[in-house]
C-alpha cells in the first residue's frame, strides 16, 4: 500500500464511541506567523497584551521555548509530526513542491491523523478562512487533506471532541516594509499606533527611521494578535467550551528581521509558549528548555492517545518527565538560498556550526532582500554608515565555522567565544553534543540537497507570471557557489 493510501485509511478510520470521546478535552492550537515573545507577560514594555497575559495567568507559561527550525515550512512540518524536520527530510524551506516529492517514512504520520483515528474532529482554519479552504499548513512532505475534517470546529457532531489549529497572520500583517494601510487598520481597530520612538531595538540594529517604524508596526502586529487570541477565547467561553479545552499559544519562529527569522540566534528561535486548560497548572512559569515539537506529544497525551514510538517530541506535562538540558535547531535552504546551520543551546551557552562559512550572513535572497529593513541596512552598509558591531555581524564577507555565546553575559549573542582558550572545554563539549544529536536523530541535512531536488523546486519558483531576474541571478549564484564548494 502506498503512502497516500495509508494516510487515507488512517484518516477515515472509524471514530471512537461517543461516550469515550466525550471524556476527552478539546485541543486548540493558536499558531502565529513571524513573531517573537514580544508580549507583556514576557516582559515587553512598549505594548500591552491582556489576552495572552490571561492565558499565562490562568495556565502555564514557558519562558524558554524554542523552535527547531526558524522558518515557516520546516517548523510547521516538524510541529505537525512531532519530529525534527531534519529527521523526516523536510528541512529545506518550501521543498518537495515540484515534480520531486518528499514522503514520510518510518511509520511517521501527522498528528491530525492520530486525532481523527481516535474520534476527534480535526480542523485547521483562522480568521477569514471560509468555505472548503483550510488554514495555513505549509508542510514540505506529501499529506492527505482528508486528515482534516474542515476549517472550524462548528462542523463536528454534537459532543464530539475536536482538534483545532487556529492560524494567525501575526508579524506578516506589517508586510515587507512600513505600511500605511496596516497602520490605519491598527488605529481603527485598536485606537492608536505604537510610536517608533518607544521601540527598543537589539544593539546590532541602527536606530534608523525605517527600522524603527517597521518594529513599531511589528509590535502592533503583536497587539492585533493578542486581540485575535481574545476573540478565540471569547468564542470558546460563549460556547461553554473554554474549561474543557486545552488552549496552546505559540508562534512558528521569531521576528522576520536580518538576524531573526531564518537564523539560529534566539531572535529567530525563541518563541512564546503558553498553555491553559484541563490538566495544565495555573499561574505557573516554567524556565526549563522545551522544543516546539513537544506540542504533538503534549496534545496527544492530553487527549488520552498513546504516543507513538517514532515521536521525538516529549510530553513536558507528564509526571515522569525529565527536563531537557539542551535544545537543538537547524536552518537549511530557504527558498533559492542554500544554507546549512546547526545549533545546540543549553541554559547558559549557544553553539552554532556554520557548515558553509565561506558564504556571508546575508546571502542574496529575494524574499529577505525585498524587505524595507534589509534594503535600508544594505544602503547604510554601502554608505559606510553602520557601526563596527553591525558591520561585523551582518556584513562580514565570511563567517566563522563555529560560534559560541555565553547567553547569561551576552543575551544578544554578539561576542563569539569559540576562539577563546578559556571556553575551549565548553566548545568541545557542545561540538560533540551537536554531532551526537545529528547522528542520533538521523539528520538528513548532513548531505547536500540533491541537485535534482533543488532544480525541481526552483522550477516552481520560476514558473508562472513575469520572470524574476533577481531570482534567476540568485539561483545561478547558488549553483556556482555549490559547484565551487562554497
Beta bridge partners, 251, equal 32
Range of lowest pLDDT (14-23, 46-55, 135-144, 231-240): 14-23
Q: Are 150 and 14 in contact (CB under 8 A)?
A: no
DSSP annotation of 196: G
If you count them, how many residues does the chain have? 486
Sign of the dihedral defined by the CA atoms of residues 87, 116, 32, 287, in that order = negative
Q: Are 310 and 34 in contact (CB under 8 A)?
A: no
pTM for the model stands at: 0.94
Interacting residues of 336 by C-beta distance below 8 A, sequence separation 6+: 365, 366, 458, 461, 471, 474, 475, 478
pLDDT band at 344 (very low <50, low <70, confident <90, very high): very high
CA distance 174 to 159: 39
CA distance 235 to 237: 5
Give per-residue pLDDT as tens, 404-457.
999 999 999 999 999 999 999 999 999 999 999 999 999 999 999 999 999 999
CA distance 363 to 397: 10
pLDDT band at 465 (very low <50, low <70, confident <90, very high): confident
CA distance 341 to 353: 6
One CATH from 1.10.3720.10, 3.30.1120.10, 3.30.1360.120, 3.40.50.300 for 331-483: 3.30.1120.10
Q: Would you state the cell numbers that stand for residue 2, as one nine-digit string?
A: 502506498
What mean pLDDT, rounded, does the chain reach?
95
Percent of the chain at pLDDT above 90? 93
Give per-residue pLDDT as tens, 9-47.
333 344 444 434 447 999 999 999 999 999 999 999 999
In the chain, where the domains are located: 3-326, 331-483
How confident is the model at residue 13, as a pLDDT?
41
DSSP string, 13-28: PPPPPHHHHHTSPEEE
One CATH from 3.30.2130.30, 3.90.1010.10, 3.60.15.10, 3.40.720.10 for 3-326: 3.40.720.10
Q: Where are the alpha helices (DSSP H) in 36-148?
A: 50-57, 72-81, 85-88, 111-117
Using a 10 angstrom Cβ sphere, with 0-12 exposed, 13-18 middle and 19 or more buried, the burial of residue 66 is: buried
CA distance 313 to 81: 9
What mean pLDDT is predicted for residues 58-76? 98
DSSP annotation of 402: E
Q: Is 469 helix (H, G, I), strand (E, B) or coil?
A: helix
pLDDT band at 2 (very low <50, low <70, confident <90, very high): very low
What mean pLDDT is predicted for residues 350-359? 98
Give per-residue pLDDT as tens, 158-212.
999 999 999 999 999 999 988 899 999 999 999 999 999 999 999 999 999 999 9
Residue 365 has pLDDT above 90, yes or no: yes
- The enclosing H or E element of 296 equals helix 294-302
How confident is the model at residue 1, as a pLDDT?
35
Instruction: Choose among 371, 146, 127, 362: nearest CA to 230.
Output: 127
Amino acid at each position: 500500500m502506498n503512502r497516500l493510501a495509508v494516510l487515507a485509511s488512517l484518516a477515515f478510520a472509524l471514530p471512537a464511541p461517543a461516550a469515550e470521546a466525550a471524556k476527552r478535552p478539546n485541543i486548540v492550537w493558536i499558531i502565529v506567523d513571524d513573531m517573537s515573545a514580544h508580549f507583556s507577560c514576557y516582559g515587553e514594555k512598549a505594548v500591552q497584551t491582556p489576552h495572552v497575559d490571561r492565558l499565562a495567568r490562568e495556565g502555564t507559561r514557558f519562558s524558554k521555548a524554542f523552535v527547531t527550525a526558524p522558518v515557516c515550512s520546516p517548523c510547521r512540518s516538524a510541529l505537525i509530526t512531532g519530529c525534527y524536520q531534519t529527521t523526516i527530510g523536510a528541512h529545506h524551506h518550501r521543498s518537495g513542491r515540484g515534480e520531486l516529492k518528499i514522503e514520510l517514512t518510518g511509520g511517521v504520520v501527522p498528528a491530525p491523523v492520530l486525532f481523527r483515528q481516535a474520534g476527534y474532529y480535526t480542523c485547521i482554519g483562522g480568521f477569514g478562512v471560509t468555505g472548503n479552504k483550510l488554514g495555513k499548513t505549509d508542510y514540505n512532505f506529501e499529506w492527505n487533506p482528508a486528515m482534516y475534517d474542515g476549517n472550524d470546529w462548528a462542523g463536528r457532531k454534537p459532543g464530539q471532541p475536536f482538534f483545532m489549529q487556529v492560524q494567525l497572520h501575526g508579524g506578516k500583517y506589517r508586510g515587507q516594509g512600513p505600511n500605511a494601510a496596516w497602520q490605519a487598520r491598527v488605529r481603527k481597530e485598536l485606537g492608536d499606533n505604537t510610536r517608533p520612538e518607544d521601540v527598543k531595538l537589539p544593539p546590532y540594529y541602527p536606530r534608523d527611521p525605517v527600522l524603527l517604524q517597521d518594529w513599531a508596526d511589528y509590535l502592533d502586529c503583536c497587539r492585533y494578535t493578542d486581540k485575535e487570541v481574545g476573540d478565540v477565547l471569547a468564542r470558546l467561553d460563549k460556547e461553554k467550551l473554554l474549561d474543557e479545552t486545552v488552549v496552546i499559544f505559540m508562534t512558528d519562529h521569531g521576528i522576520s528581521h536580518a538576524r531573526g527569522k531564518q537564523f539560529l540566534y534566539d531572535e529567530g528561535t525563541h518563541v512564546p509558549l503558553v498553555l491553559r486548560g484541563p490538566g495544565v497548572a495555573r499561574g505557573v512559569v516554567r524556565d526549563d528548555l522545551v522544543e516546539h515539537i513537544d506540542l504533538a506529544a503534549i496534545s496527544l497525551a492530553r487527549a488520552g492517545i498513546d504516543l507513538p514510538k517514532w515521536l521525538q517530541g516529549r510530553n513536558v506535562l507528564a509526571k515522569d518527565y525529565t527536563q531537557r538540558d539542551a535544545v537543538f535547531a537547524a536552518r537549511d535552504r530557504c527558498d533559492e538560498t542554500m544554507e546549512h546551520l546547526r545549533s545546540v543551546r543549553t541554559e547558559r551557552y549557544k553553539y552554532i556550526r556554520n557548515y558553509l562559512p565561506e558564504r556571508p550572513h546575508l546571502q542574496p535572497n529575494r524574499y529577505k532582500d525585498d524587505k524595507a529593513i534589509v534594503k535600508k541596512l544594505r544602503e547604510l552598509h554601502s554608505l559606510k554608515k553602520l557601526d563596527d558591531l553591525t558591520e561585523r555581524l551582518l556584513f562580514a564577507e565570511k563567517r566563522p565555522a563555529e560560534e559560541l555565546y555565553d547567553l547569561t553575559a551576552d543575551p544578544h549573542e554578539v561576542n563569539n567565544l569559540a576562539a577563546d582558550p578559556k571556553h575551549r572545554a565548553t566548545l568541545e563539549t557542545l561540538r560533540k553534543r551537536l554531532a551526537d544529536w545529528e547522528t542520533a536523530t538521523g539528520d538528513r541535512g548532513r548531505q547536500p540537497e540533491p541537485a535534482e531536488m533543488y532544480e525541481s523546486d526552483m522550477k516552481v519558483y520560476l514558473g508562472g507570471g513575469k520572470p524574476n531576474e533577481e531570482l534567476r541571478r540568485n539561483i545561478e549564484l547558488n549553483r556556482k557557489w555549490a559547484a565551487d564548494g562554497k
